[in-house]
Amino acid sequence: MNKNLIAIAVAAMFIAPVAYADKHNKNAIDNCVAAAQAKFPGKLTSIRAEIEEGKAQYEIDIDANDGKQWEVECDAKTGKILETEGEVAADDPAFTSKAKISLDTALKTALAKHPGAVMKIEYEVESDGSIAYEFDIRTADGKLLEVEVDAITGKLSNAEEVVWQIGE
């Protein structure tokens, strides 16, 4: 691979987070991480900067000390937690006992609106007890979108654009 291309890619990994933070409260990410880990003590596995409905937010993934996996969404301006979701296995009864929409149907719904390559599939239990399939979709123009489909109603939520990610 071209050495210049590698250098540009590595530089972008460091510049994009800084540029994103400069547009938002510089302490917000620290506040988000602290609030997320206070709520769910454990190992932080990734942080994403996302845009949802024109608003900047951070998504923090934690492997909690209690053995559960949590996704915490936090406002990039204020540092306040917006939403928490538990990530469960595909066969977890908390998900399967409520799901009325199949994975295939949810995938078709997501890809009909956001064509691209599915990079990741997650099974989510929302803080209000609702359940959703969550897909990371890489679009033809190179954007990474996080798309949720309600596993009970089949309703597609607004996509979140991933600006940058650190971690898995």
> Which pLDDT does position 17 carry in this prediction?
47
DSSP letter string over 63-102?
Answer: EETTS-EEEEEEETTT--EEEEEEEE-TT-HHHHTT--S-
- Residue 26 pLDDT > 80: no
List pLDDT tens digits, range 64-119: 999 999 999 999 998 999 999 999 999 999 999 999 999 999 999 999 999 999 99
Cβ atoms of 76 and 57 within 8 Å: the answer is yes
34 three-state secondary structure: helix
Which CATH number characterizes residue 144's domain? 3.10.450.40
> Nearest CA to 35 among 91, 90, 81, 93?
81
> Which pLDDT does position 65 carry in this prediction?
97
Beta carbons within 8 Å of 5's beta carbon, 6+ residues apart: none
Higher pLDDT, 3 or 41: 41
- Residue 1 pLDDT > 50: no
- Residue 167 pLDDT > 80: yes
Confidence of residue 9 (pLDDT cuts 50, 70, 90): very low
What's the average model confidence in pLDDT over 136-156?
A: 98
Count of the separate structural domains present in the chain: 1
Neighbouring C-beta atoms of residue 52, cutoff 10 Å: 17
What's the average model confidence in pLDDT over 115-144?
A: 97
- Residue 25 pLDDT > 90: no
- Residue 55 pLDDT > 70: yes
DSSP H helical ranges for 88-140: 93-96, 103-113
What's the average model confidence in pLDDT over 44-56?
A: 96
Cβ atoms of 133 and 121 within 8 Å: the answer is yes
Domain that holds residue 138: 3-167
> Which pLDDT does position 28 carry in this prediction?
87
Of all residues in the chain, the percent with pLDDT exceeding 70 is 85
> Which pLDDT does position 24 carry in this prediction?
52
Task: Report how far residue 108's alpha carbon sits from residue 91's, in angstroms, rounded to the nearest whole number.
Answer: 20
Tokens matching residue 49: 């900067």
Task: Report how far residue 103's alpha carbon sits from residue 126's, in angstroms, rounded to the nearest whole number.
Answer: 17
Instruction: Tell me which DSSP letter residue 41 carries.
Output: -
